[in-house]
Amino acid sequence: MIIVKTKEEIELMRQSALVVSKTLGMLATEVKEGVTTMQLDKLAEDFIRAQGALPGFLGLYDCPSTLLCSVNEAVVHGLPTDKPLQNGDIVSIDCGALMNGFYGDHAYTFEIGDVNPETKKLIEVTKESLYVGIRAFKAGNRVGDVGFAIQQHCEAQGYGVVRELVGHGLGRKMHEDPEMPNYGRRGRGKKFVEGMVVAIEPMINGGTHRVKQLKDGWTIVTQDGKPSVHFEHDIALVDGKPEILSTFAYVHKALGITSNEEDEFRKEALVL
């Protein structure tokens, strides 16, 4: 059952989304060669608590960490380790926070040093597909329309769309209805309704869509060892249109990236 949110609840969810957005922004300058994902995890936990929020993943489904850090061929759910990041790595950092009873859930794939052009292209196309998906999250459309849009965009480049893991409704629970697959058929699935909030999160592989789980019981990796990329935004359906509650603006500012990619999904300009 889809749990729709009131205007007031959406404002609270915007605050939760802002916590995770700022956390990724803080991490953006810390993600570099020689740093371990365990160190990033500690920084993130302290930062989230300092904002009066709780880490959203820690303890959820027995998750042992604040962040999930998926390096290179890891798709999602990578547990932080003491292995230093190396030049040329990519790391997808997924971050959750709980504030005022509502969750924020947000992910960004960072580059460490000189990443090869093939992987850079995968990052670019996956990020594009996030917005292609968000654009399809509108009144009159259905779950399958978002999945279809993301799948078309990524498969056109020969990439693999992960099937086993999907986006989701978001609210007082981290995972609410509906499931939001990154693949699908036009006009199929649940119809979008005003006031619903979802996490759209393409998980896109450089090669096959097939994945496997590591023995740690968490980390999902590509079956062919090719890299995988993950971006995630939190979006509310307001006045029949998608409104992004999270923002990469803090990450972009930290990394010196100029971007207007979120502008069409925001009613008011964001002031950092």
Nearest CA-CA partner of 200 in 272, 249, 148: 148
What is the dihedral angle through the alpha carbons of 194, 108, 265, 26, rounded to the nearest 10 degrees? 110
Residue closer to Mg ion (CB basis): 73 or 105: 105
Phi, psi of 212 (to 5 degrees): -140, 165
Taking the complex as a whole, the smallest distance from the CB of residue 235 to Mg ion amounts, in Å, to: 12
Residue closer to Mg ion (CB basis): 93 or 221: 93
Report the distance separating Cα 68 and Cα 158, nearest Å.
26
The site for Mg ion (CB under 5 A) is made up of 94, 105, 107, 199, 232
Question: What DSSP letter does each residue of 109-178 carry, written as one string?
Answer: EEE-SS--HHHHHHHHHHHHHHHHHHHT-STT-BHHHHHHHHHHHHHTTTPEEPSS--EEE-SSSSSEEE
AA letter at 270: L
Taking the complex as a whole, the smallest distance from the CB of residue 180 to Mg ion amounts, in Å, to: 9
Residue closer to Mg ion (CB basis): 179 or 224: 179
Taking the complex as a whole, the smallest distance from the CB of residue 175 to Mg ion amounts, in Å, to: 7
Report the distance separating Cα 68 and Cα 77, nearest Å.
5
Distance separating the N- and C-terminal Cα atoms of the chain: 35
Taking the complex as a whole, the smallest distance from the CB of residue 15 to Mg ion amounts, in Å, to: 17
Taking the complex as a whole, the smallest distance from the CB of residue 95 to Mg ion amounts, in Å, to: 7
Distances (CA, A) of 120 to 19, 88, 96: 27, 10, 25
Taking the complex as a whole, the smallest distance from the CB of residue 116 to Mg ion amounts, in Å, to: 26
Residue closer to Mg ion (CB basis): 33 or 190: 190
Residue closer to Mg ion (CB basis): 186 or 190: 190
Residue closer to Mg ion (CB basis): 43 or 84: 43
State both tokens at 236: 């509310």
